[in-house]
Amino acid sequence: MLNFNSAFLRAAAPALGMLGMLGMLGAANVCMAQSTAAPRDAFVHVSADVRIHVVVAGSATTMHPLVLIPGWRLTASIWKQQVATFSKKRQVIVVDPRSQGESTETAEGDTPEQRARDLDAVLKQLKVGPIVLVGWSQGVQDVAAYVAQFGTASLAGIVLVDSTVSHGAAEIPKSPGFAAQQLGLFALYADDPRSYTRGMMRAIITRPLPQPEFDALVADALKTPTAIGEAMLVADLFGVDRSPILAQFDRPTLVIASGASLELAAQKAMAATLPQGQFEVIEGAAHAVFVDQPEQFDRLLAGFLARIEG
């Protein structure tokens, strides 16, 4: 599974220099601003002590709502271009997973399986569906975990962005070098989370960003405590084998990969196993393909949505 650490390992060393190398349920649980003119924040209580932050943009129409899941430690803000583009004609919902962004920081349940249950609660309380569910990087694991637990009845389509579905701990003996690389980076992350995160961001986004925007992405990622971030990665990479779940993907599924992905062939092979799979490659982009090449990404996603909706 290509993830932030894989991209970091490949590209962040020049950026880092020597350092880099070394609830109550129901409508009452949803608090939302009333304006519909601009993206608005909502907080959905998924348990008595955990609330999930979502950004809701656009209005409900006959078109399927688009639900966007960010990757490891990142937030709804990473999808700002897609929110602006797609909310003109449909409702767009972006989730801050638990312990990320403005959602509740919790030492419990920082796994794809619990994040999938959180997502189910969010969708039910916001009363949306059927949706097109888009997951990027860690978000791909969340999508797989969602389908495993809740099936595809609430889904009109699925989009997996630049990651394969994890094979879990069983993959460690088959790819010991990959496991060693991932675990080795934990020490760098724990020693200096800010420098690590800045290097990671330069690795996954190669398009020059205005400095304030870059700094905001780093600050957002640092909202996740380091120990929780490490736990997330272990659960994502070495937890549940989610690959059998692909057989349950009985909705149109678009796989979008970076042309620079170390898992390009694996993503293509994954798409080929899907009953209604479609595979597309975006060149000139790092891991965050929708940030590096937003126009091309949006064009591919818009075409997929048009095919689903006839």
Q: What is the pLDDT of residue 222?
A: 98
Q: What is the pLDDT of residue 74?
A: 98
Q: What is the pLDDT of residue 4?
A: 53
Tokens of 249: 């993907």
Question: What residues have CB less than 8 Å from 8, skipping those under 6 apart?
Answer: 185, 196, 199, 200, 203, 204
Q: What is the pLDDT of residue 184?
A: 84
* C-alpha radius of gyration, the chain, whole number: 18
Tokens 């925007």 appear where?
213
Q: What is the pLDDT of residue 11?
A: 42
Q: In degrees, to the nearest 5, what angle opens at C-alpha 40 toward C-alphas 33 and 141?
A: 125
Kindly give the parts of the chain with pLDDT less than 50: 2, 8-36
**What domains lie within the chain, and their CATH numbers?**
4-24+37-309 (3.40.50.1820)
Three-state DSSP at 293 gives: coil
Q: What is the pLDDT of residue 1?
A: 54
What is the DSSP code string of 201-217? HHHH--S---HHHHHHH
| Contact predicate 166/246, CB 8 Å | no
Cα separation values, 162 from 21, 71, 270, Å:
24, 10, 11
Return mean pLDDT, the chain. Answer: 89
Q: What is the pLDDT of residue 33?
A: 39
| Helical pair 226-238 and 138-150, crossing angle rounded to 10 deg | 60
| Contact predicate 208/15, CB 8 Å | no
Class of residue 54 by CB neighbours under 10 A (exposed 0-12, middle 13-18, buried 19+): buried
Q: What is the pLDDT of residue 269?
A: 97
| Terminal Cα distance for the chain, rounded | 32
Q: What is the pLDDT of residue 253?
A: 98
Q: What is the pLDDT of residue 177?
A: 82
- Cα separation, 178 vs 169, in Å, equals 12
| Contact predicate 234/257, CB 8 Å | no
